[in-house]
Structure 1
Amino acid sequence: MTLADLDRSARSVGLALRGAFHPDPEDGAPEGTGTLVLLGPDEPRFWDVFTASQEYRDGQRHPLDRWSKRVAATVASPLNAKAIFPYDGPPYAPFLRWADRSGASWSSPVGLLVHSEAGLFISFRAALALPQQLDLPSPAQSLCPSCETRPCETACPVGALAPGKDYDVPACIAHIRSPEGASCRNGCLVRRACPVSARFGRREAQSAFHMRAFLGE
């Protein structure tokens, strides 16, 4: 088993490998974990897979979380791996720490997580704690220092996300719910402004789905 094998298995169900590392005791991984693997949506294919699923179509609450648990289990089971989810808690698993440890993500100028392939569209649906230590790739190099225009710094119309300040969630929500915030309903303008995000292929319908969940609609 290699990380490439695991990635192929994940992509067969609509997920993809988004980072991996060998955890230390202070990382909060389950005891006996040799490799902790982060899984996120395999975009843009993910949206078609998810919207065709029973969870999306049954009208019940939390369709994406339920879908994630089902498909992650199909990847974890043959590997004798434990599946961990960011929304199970409290206590909640330290996914941001794990993303940083993976060497595939880093902090953006506005504080949001950036991924080497997904940009500011990075999200994690599950982590797998494998008993064996798999060979790891070299850490990715942050692309932010070489970004000449840094559009993420000025993309938010109300400055809710900006360098040197905490995320102003109330200002963000108020703007999105206003007539002036209509364009934000199709996805956060800051996330969409990132040049890496623009190459990732995130579907607008998917971004709108997440925004409705963010607003509690």
Structure 2
Amino acid sequence: MNYATLSRAVGAMHLDILGAFHPDPEDPELAGFGTLILLSPLEPRFWNHFKTQPEYTGHVPNPVDQWSSRVVTALAAALGGQPYFPFTGPPYQPFYQWALNTGRCHPSPINLLVHDRAGLFVSFRGAIALPQKIDLPPPAPSPCATCADKPCVTACPVEAFATGVYDVDACRNVIAQTDPKACLTRGCAARRACPVSAEYGRLEEQSSYHMRVFLENGL
């Protein structure tokens, strides 16, 4: 299997490979595997597809995670790999470090991950470790390196990222009350401010859904 074939198989499930890397043979988490792929929603098609799925239409708890678990597990089985998820634990899998290992995700000025194509709309629905070592596309530099204005730094109405540690309470309080940047209806203002995010195709309805879940459940 080559990377193009793998991408088509993933895309058929409305997922995208946001990055991949070859694990260190001495990595105890991924011993015996040749390649790890990190999976995100395939934008902009994902959300309209997801709304037709039983997890969403059946109003099950945590429908996005439940869909991800079902689909990524089935995909891993078809590919002969091992699935991993960012929402199962503790212990939790090191998705942040895995993302950095791909060379396509980087720390942003507000310490959220930024991706060469997704910008600040980095979202992992799961990962699959494959036994074979697949040739991968080259790493990509951080888009922040050529972003002169860095609008993500000033976009948050309560400067929730100013200290380098995300101020969850300040964020939740402002979107629950005045919501001056329409974060609840359009998605996080800081993420939207990224010029790369703006070109990514993430639907505002999808971002709004996740912001409502964050507000209601503290997730």
- Does TM, scored on the shorter chain, surpass 0.5? yes
Alpha-carbon distance, 1:27 to partner: 4.8
**Residue equivalent to 2:183:** 184
**Residue equivalent to 1:73:** 73
| Residues 61-210 of structure 1 mapped to structure 2, 5 A cutoff | 61-162=61-162, 165-181=164-180, 183-185=182-184, 186-210=186-210
Question: In the alignment, is the contact (CA less than 8 A) between 1:44 and 1:201 conserved in 2?
Answer: yes
**Residue equivalent to 1:6:** 6
Rounded to whole Å, the distance in 2 between the matches of 1:43 and 1:21 is 22
What is the identity percentage for the equivalent residue pairs of Structure 1 and Structure 2?
A: 51
Q: Which moved more, 1:165-174 or 1:117-126?
A: 165-174
Rounded to whole Å, the distance in 1 between the matches of 2:216 and 2:4 is 37
Alpha-carbon distance, 1:31 to partner: 2.4
Alpha-carbon distance, 1:70 to partner: 1.4
Alpha-carbon distance, 1:142 to partner: 1.3
Q: Which moved more, 1:123-132 or 1:172-181?
A: 172-181
**Residue equivalent to 1:40:** 40
Rounded to whole Å, the distance in 2 between the matches of 1:152 and 1:57 is 34
User: Which amino acid in structure 2 is aligned with residue 179 of structure 1?
Assistant: T
Alpha-carbon distance, 1:156 to partner: 0.4
Alpha-carbon distance, 1:181 to partner: 4.3
Rounded to whole Å, the distance in 2 between the matches of 1:93 and 1:116 is 23
List alignment gaps of at least 5 residues for structure 1.
Answer: none
**Residue equivalent to 1:17:** 17
List alignment gaps of at least 5 residues for structure 2.
Answer: none
Rounded to whole Å, the distance in 2 between the matches of 1:135 and 1:42 is 21
Alpha-carbon distance, 1:121 to partner: 0.4
Alpha-carbon distance, 1:184 to partner: 1.0
Aligned-residue CA RMSD in angstroms?
1.4
| TM norm structure 2 | 0.94
Write out the 4+ residue segments of structure 1 that deviate beyond 4 Å after TM superposition.
25-28
Alpha-carbon distance, 1:21 to partner: 0.4
| TM norm structure 1 | 0.95
Rounded to whole Å, the distance in 1 between the matches of 2:28 and 2:110 is 26
